[in-house]
Structure 1
C-alpha cells in the first residue's frame, strides 16, 4: 500500500506530464474526439492519458464528456500556477544574476506579468526600442547605468529633457565620459537645462529605470556591453524595490555639478578619495 507522500508525488508527476490535457479541461468538459483534436494526439494516447487521470481521481465521465473532479480542478489550478511561475523564471533568466545580492532582494515574483524584450531574437535593438517607447509616454525618468538599457539614449531623450522631462541619472564614470566625448553639443545644452541631474557611481551592475507608470531592468552582455534584455512591469511591489535601490545608489554616488569634462574629472577624483 502506498503512503500518502508517494501517492502525492505520483499524482504531481502525472499531473505535470498531462498539463496540456488538464489545461484544456480547465476551460470546459471535452469528449475523447475533442481531446484528440485539441491536443493533436491519437485515440490510443487519449485513452491512456484519460484513464491515468481518472484512476488518480482527477477526471470523471459525464454525459460522454471528460470532466475534472473537484480534486482534479484543484490539481489543475496548481499545475497552471506552477507553469506560470516556471515561465516567469525562464523569461527572467537574463536578470537573475545581475540583480542577485541587492538589498533589499529583488522580488522576482513581482515580475510575473512583466514584458521581457530580448536582443537574442533577431533584433539587437529591441530592448532599446522598448525603452524608448516607454520614455515617450512618461514625464519623468530616473535611471541607473544607461548603457545597460540604451547605449544611444542621449539621442533619444535629449529633446524630451529640453522640453521639460525631469531626468535624474546615476551613471558610470566611463559612460559619462563617453557621452561627453561623443555628444559635446548636446552636453552643453543639457548642462544648461534645469531638468537634468546626474551623479556618478562605480558599482552599477545592471540598468534600472523608473518611469511614471512602470519600472524596468536592463541587462548588458558582460563581454560586449551591449544590452541583452529589458524587463518592465507596472507592479507596485517591483516599483517599491526599484525606488529603494535607486535611492541607495543616488545617496552613494558622487554629485556631478556640471555636465562637462572638467566637472567629470573633478567628480571622478572626488570618488577616488
Structure 2
C-alpha cells in the first residue's frame, strides 16, 4: 500500500506534477491544451503527467475537461498548504533558523506579511535601529530584552525626562541587569528610568537569548547571532500580538522588580 511519504515523493520529483495539481485544483476542469499552456511545457510532458495522474486516481477526464477526483483534490489541498507554509518559513529563515525553542509556539501564519529586518556587515545595527524607531512614538511598551543597550536606555531616559506619559514594562536577564548597573556611563540613565512612575524594569533569573514584545500595536520578535542582534520581525497581526503578549507575561511572572539604584 502506498504511504503518504511515497505519494509526496512522487509529486515532488517533478515541478510539472505540482504545477498541474495546483492548476487543476484552482481552475479545473481544464482541457489538455489549457493545461499545457499553464505548465509552459511540451505536449509530451503533459500527456505523461495526465496519464500518471489518471493511473494514481488524481483526475478523471470529462466532457468539460480534466477534473480532479476527491482524492486528487485532497492531495492538492495538502500541497497548497505545504507550499504556502514553506514559502513563509523560507522568507523568514534568517529569523527562524536562529530562534530558540520558545519561538516554536509562534504561529507561522502570524509572520505572513511581517516586516523583516536582517543585520548585515554593512549595517550591523539594523535590528536595534529599527526597534528604536518603532519605540520612538509608542507610549505603551511590553518587552523582553536579552541585554541593556545604551541607545535603548538613552532613548527611554530622554523620553522620561521630556515628561512623556509612558507605560513601559521591560524584562531583562539578571546578568544584563548587573552588567548595566556596574557601568558608570549607564548610571544616570538607569536611575532616571528606574525612578520613573511610568517605567517598570523586571529582572529574570535565567538567560534570555531573544527579544520579544509589543510596542504600541506592533508585535516584535528578534534573535541574535554570534552575540549580536541578527533578525527582527514586526507585525500587527493579532496572532503575533497574542503570542508576544503571552510570552512577555510569562517572563514577567518569573521576574522580580528591579530596585532603585
- TM-score w.r.t. structure 2 length? 0.71
Aligned partners of 2:130, 2:39: CA distance in 1, in Å?
Answer: 35
Residue 26 of structure 1 contacts residue 73 of structure 1 at CA under 8 Å; is this kept in 2? yes
1:28 aligns with 2:27: yes
Query: How many pairs were matched up?
Result: 248
The residue correspondences of 1:245-260 to structure 2 (distance < 5 A) are 245-258=247-260
The residue correspondences of 1:194-273 to structure 2 (distance < 5 A) are 194-201=197-204, 202-221=206-225, 223=226, 225-234=227-236, 239-258=241-260, 263=261
Distance change in 2, residues 1:138/1:44 (3 Å): farther
Partner in structure 2 of residue 78 of structure 1: 78
Partner in structure 2 of residue 111 of structure 1: 108
Residue 145 of structure 1 contacts residue 207 of structure 1 at CA under 8 Å; is this kept in 2? yes
Report the CA distance between 1:69 and its aligned residue. Answer: 2.8
Residue 61 of structure 2 contacts residue 67 of structure 2 at CA under 8 Å; is this kept in 1? yes
Partner in structure 2 of residue 269 of structure 1: none
Partner in structure 2 of residue 135 of structure 1: 135
Distance change in 2, residues 1:14/1:191 (3 Å): same
Residue 32 of structure 1 contacts residue 46 of structure 1 at CA under 8 Å; is this kept in 2? yes
Aligned partners of 2:245, 2:35: CA distance in 1, in Å?
Answer: 48
SS of equivalent residue, structure 2 residue 222:
strand
Aligned partners of 2:123, 2:19: CA distance in 1, in Å?
Answer: 31
Moved more, 127-136 or 111-120: 127-136
**RMSD, aligned CA:** 3.8
Partner in structure 1 of residue 171 of structure 2: 170
Residue 145 of structure 1 contacts residue 171 of structure 1 at CA under 8 Å; is this kept in 2? yes
Partner in structure 1 of residue 9 of structure 2: 13
For structure 1, the 5+ residue unaligned runs are 264-273
SS of equivalent residue, structure 1 residue 60:
strand
Report the CA distance between 1:195 and its aligned residue. Answer: 1.8
SS of equivalent residue, structure 1 residue 141:
strand
Residue 95 of structure 1 contacts residue 217 of structure 1 at CA under 8 Å; is this kept in 2? no
Q: Deviations over 1:195-251 (max 9, x none)?
A: 222123352122121234343221111x2x221212345565655554444334334
Aligned partners of 2:32, 2:218: CA distance in 1, in Å?
Answer: 45
Residue 211 of structure 2 contacts residue 222 of structure 2 at CA under 8 Å; is this kept in 1? yes
Aligned partners of 2:141, 2:223: CA distance in 1, in Å?
Answer: 18
Partner in structure 1 of residue 100 of structure 2: 99
Aligned partners of 1:9, 1:248: CA distance in 2, in Å?
Answer: 38
Aligned partners of 1:246, 1:252: CA distance in 2, in Å?
Answer: 10
SS of equivalent residue, structure 1 residue 204:
coil
- TM-score w.r.t. structure 1 length? 0.69
Aligned partners of 1:54, 1:86: CA distance in 2, in Å?
Answer: 27
